[in-house]
Amino acid sequence: MRYAPNRDVAHDIFQEGFIKVFNSLNQFKRQSSLSSWMYRIFVNTSINYIQRSIKSKFEVSINDNLNITEDVVSEIENEHWINHISSSEALDLVQQLPEKYRLIINLFAIEKHSHSEISKILNITEASSRSQLSRARKLLSDKLKTELKIKLGE
């Protein structure tokens, strides 16, 4: 669900992943646990699915050539969000992000890939990866602030 915009797409990705697992079982070499091996297949299937669905490739804009620093969320804001937003609400907000931003957030924040790794996975520059992450964080931050204002009746 972290990669998909809705349950229908998540089910499609899940089904495609299981088909890949089933068709690749003979390639499992027991160098890791079965669950780890399957996890990699499902993550890669998710990334490939999202990349296919993005109509245009990640385009490097003029802003990507500027030194855009990553936004740092203050500890007060972070603690406020953690205390007032459930994990399901946070997942819902991430799912509302445009696909390319959702993909970057998942790869960087959840999968813990470096910008160098992301650039290779998505075939983009490291600067573009940083820029996309910065924009994704800003958009997610704005969505979280709006959600908090609604929840807290402000």
Distance CA 48, CA 52 (A): 6
At 26, which amino acid appears?
Answer: N
- Grouping H, G, I as helix, E, B as strand and the rest as coil, residue 6 is coil
Nearest to 2 by CA among 127, 138, 101, 114: 101
Q: Which domains does the chain have, with CATH numbers?
A: 1-53 (1.10.1740.10), 61-154 (1.10.10.10)
The CA distance from 9 to 15, in Å, is: 10
10-residue stretch averages of pLDDT, the chain, 154 residues long:
84 92 90 90 86 52 37 53 69 85 88 91 90 90 81 68
First to last CA, the chain: 30
Phi then psi for 55, rounded to 5 degrees?
-65, -40
Token pair, residue 51, equals 């990349």
> Are the beta carbons of 75 and 39 closer than 8 angstroms?
no
- pLDDT of 99 reads 86
Q: Is 125 helix (H, G, I), strand (E, B) or coil?
A: coil
Q: What single-letter amino acid sits at 137? A: R
Cα separation, 15 vs 27, whole angstroms:
19
Residue 83: its pLDDT value, please?
62
Does the predicted TM-score (pTM) go above 0.75? no
Q: What is the pLDDT of residue 80?
A: 56
